[in-house]
Structure 1
Amino acid sequence: MDIRQLRTFHRVAALGSFTRAAAELNYAQSSVTAQIQSLEVSLGGELFERFGGKVKLTPAGTRLLPYAGQMLALADEARGAASPDAQPEGVLTIGTMESITSYRMPPVLEYFHHRYPRLQIALRPSLCAETLHSLRQGLFDAGFLMEAETQHSGVHSEVLGVEPLVVVASPGHRLAGATKVETDDLRQESVLAPEAGCAYRELLEAELNDGTGEPVPFLEFGNIEAIKRGVGAGLGISLLPRMTVGQELSAGTLVPLAWEPPFELFTQLAWRKGAQLSRERRVFVEQVIEFLSREYQES
């Protein structure tokens, strides 16, 4: 069992695919397969179940995963201590969500691309609950959360800022010109929303269903761009992070409704509690906090 085998095992577990792990690590797929098989032989048992082109951890693989993460982090820390002037390198896997990826991360990724060209940032779309689970399992090096709660078991989280939310509608909507919109007004509308598990959807759903007896129906549109198009076409209203609709509000293709959310949502950067931050993870955490905290303060 060596560090290269453990790194390969860790990437296959994170990506659920030998092919994707090979591409990310810049190995031939046969090399990935050979490394995993060699690791399985040395440990005396199978680490993955293979089915339909995908792989899933066996119980033995699940038990090995957190240890692999710790050993890789320690190896990275040792390398950094031995070569303090070396540039950060390798792959960081970051759990994130559509709104952060599309609207907050581009300048951060541009900075890392130019400042640390040997460090690859791999963004993995993930709901907050999935991100927390993957952080605890050591599958993600860090992850973004957008939650009302700021304390999470097993992970450390740094609040980047309060995420401004806005209810939007088409310019011709009946509530578009109202000076004040009540929650009861929203209960009469079709609500377009992302998939279940999204924090701001769940907060709005709880608010609209509170004490009403009959749940307000939500229309799932999958992603933010589809939601914006549906709202613009007059199919209903939607609660979205303000950053995702800035261009549409400026252009007048969508309008904000005069409803103030009675809850707050905090965007956070999180990593596994107790884990030693490697040089690469420390650079990422420090730079993201600096970039995005400043952006939230200015917004």
Structure 2
Amino acid sequence: MELRLLVTFEKVATVLSFTQAAAELKYAQSSVTGQIRALESSLGTELFDRLGSRIRLTESGERLLPYARQIIELTEEARAAVVGAEEPSGALTVGTMESLTSYRLLPLLELFHHRYPGVRLSLRTTIGDETRQALRQGAYDVGFLMEEETRHAGLDVAVLAVEPLALVAAPGHALAGVPAARTADLVGQSLLATEPGCAYRDLFERELNSLEPAGSGVSFTEFGTIEATKRAAAAGLGIALLPEVTVAAELAEGTLVRLPWEAPFTLRTQLAWRAGKRLPGHVRLFVKQARRLVSEEG
């Protein structure tokens, strides 16, 4: 089995798309298709089921995938050992989330762009369960999490920083003038949020639901992104619980105010990778620099 065929197979198996794999590998789609057929021919078995415009791994493909990833990892490690560690290089797929990419990771990304151009970063925006599952399956090399828990089955974790939260609203909101707000004071308020799956949104919802009559539940107006949620809050459409780092500028400008409510839970920004995975040198470097720079930002 040729290494380049395994690299192409691993990419297609990760993204489950010949078109996307071709774009990321910078191949023509016909080349990707041809390489997969060549690998299937050499093994004497089909690796993908073609289902119209979609594909999925066959049982043979599922069995091959972990071996392909091990071979690729070992090859990159061997290359780094022979060439030396002076110039780190290699592909690095990172699971992240909007709040971290926009407000925490820029110093880290700038460092790798300027100092380590041989490390090819690919950022994938997912949250919570999706990120953890992608790490366990090997689709991501590392992934950033913002969670209450710091132990995750099948993953090794580095806790980078405590992530303070802020409950915000437009200036003049009724709760802005009280000395302290209780959770009971928030029930019945217009609530704004990003999509379900964000740890802080889900924990906030759980806290509010603990005070609601059985079966009623709270409801949020969902805006999908942090920026849209902030704009809605500033326009007086309701209150929103967001990471403090994402609203620092608006609080300083006065377009948002912080309401006097303290969250009864604590989130921590974390970096995770598959437990027991042999991390290549450029991935270890990313973990090291993330510990330094993201912790300093926190």
- Partners of 1:263 and 1:212 lie apart in 2 by 19
Aligned-partner SS, 2:93: strand
**260-269 vs 193-202, greater mean Cα deviation:** 193-202
Could you tell me whether the CA contact under 8 Å between 1:69 and 1:139 is conserved in 2? no
> Which structure 2 residues correspond to residues 22-171 of structure 1 after superposition, within 5 A?
22-51=22-51, 53-85=53-85, 87-171=87-171
- Partners of 1:243 and 1:46 lie apart in 2 by 49
Q: Which amino acid aligns with 2:255?
A: T
Deviation at 1:83, TM superposition (A): 1.8
The aligned residue for residue 251 of structure 1 is 253
Deviation at 1:75, TM superposition (A): 1.3
The aligned residue for residue 237 of structure 1 is 239
The aligned residue for residue 226 of structure 1 is 228
The aligned residue for residue 4 of structure 1 is 4
Deviation at 1:138, TM superposition (A): 0.7
Aligned-partner SS, 1:117: coil
Deviation at 1:67, TM superposition (A): 2.2
Query: Is it true that 1:201 corresponds to 2:201 in the alignment?
Result: yes
**Can you give the 5+ residue segments of structure 1 that lack an aligned partner in the other structure?**
none
Deviations 1:155-197 (A, max 9, x none): 1010001111011101121112222111011112121111111
Deviation at 1:231, TM superposition (A): 0.9
The aligned residue for residue 276 of structure 2 is 274
Deviation at 1:49, TM superposition (A): 3.3
Deviation at 1:134, TM superposition (A): 0.8
Query: Is it true that 1:18 corresponds to 2:36 in the alignment?
Result: no
Could you tell me whether the CA contact under 8 Å between 1:145 and 1:270 is conserved in 2? yes
- Partners of 2:248 and 2:236 lie apart in 1 by 18
- Partners of 2:233 and 2:170 lie apart in 1 by 6
Going from structure 1 to structure 2, the CA distance change for 1:86 and 1:54 (only over 3 Å counts) comes to farther
Could you tell me whether the CA contact under 8 Å between 2:7 and 2:72 is conserved in 1? yes
Deviation at 1:38, TM superposition (A): 1.3
Could you tell me whether the CA contact under 8 Å between 1:3 and 1:72 is conserved in 2? yes
- Partners of 1:261 and 1:146 lie apart in 2 by 15
Deviation at 1:211, TM superposition (A): 4.2
Aligned-partner SS, 2:73: helix
Deviation at 1:54, TM superposition (A): 4.3
Q: Which amino acid aligns with 1:228?
A: K
The aligned residue for residue 190 of structure 1 is 190
Q: Which amino acid aligns with 2:182?
A: E
With normalisation by structure 2, the TM-score equals 0.94
- Partners of 2:284 and 2:194 lie apart in 1 by 32
Q: Which amino acid aligns with 2:48?
A: F
The aligned residue for residue 219 of structure 2 is 217
Query: Is it true that 1:262 corresponds to 2:295 in the alignment?
Result: no
The aligned residue for residue 293 of structure 2 is 291
Could you tell me whether the CA contact under 8 Å between 2:184 and 2:211 is conserved in 1? no
- Partners of 1:101 and 1:55 lie apart in 2 by 30
With normalisation by structure 1, the TM-score equals 0.94
**92-101 vs 72-81, greater mean Cα deviation:** 72-81
Deviation at 1:50, TM superposition (A): 3.6
> What's the RMSD between the two structures over aligned residues?
1.5
The alignment of Structure 1 onto Structure 2 pairs a total of residues equal to 296
Q: Which amino acid aligns with 1:71?
A: I
Deviations 1:3-34 (A, max 9, x none): 21121122222233222222222222222111
Q: Which amino acid aligns with 1:90?
A: G
- Partners of 1:65 and 1:277 lie apart in 2 by 17
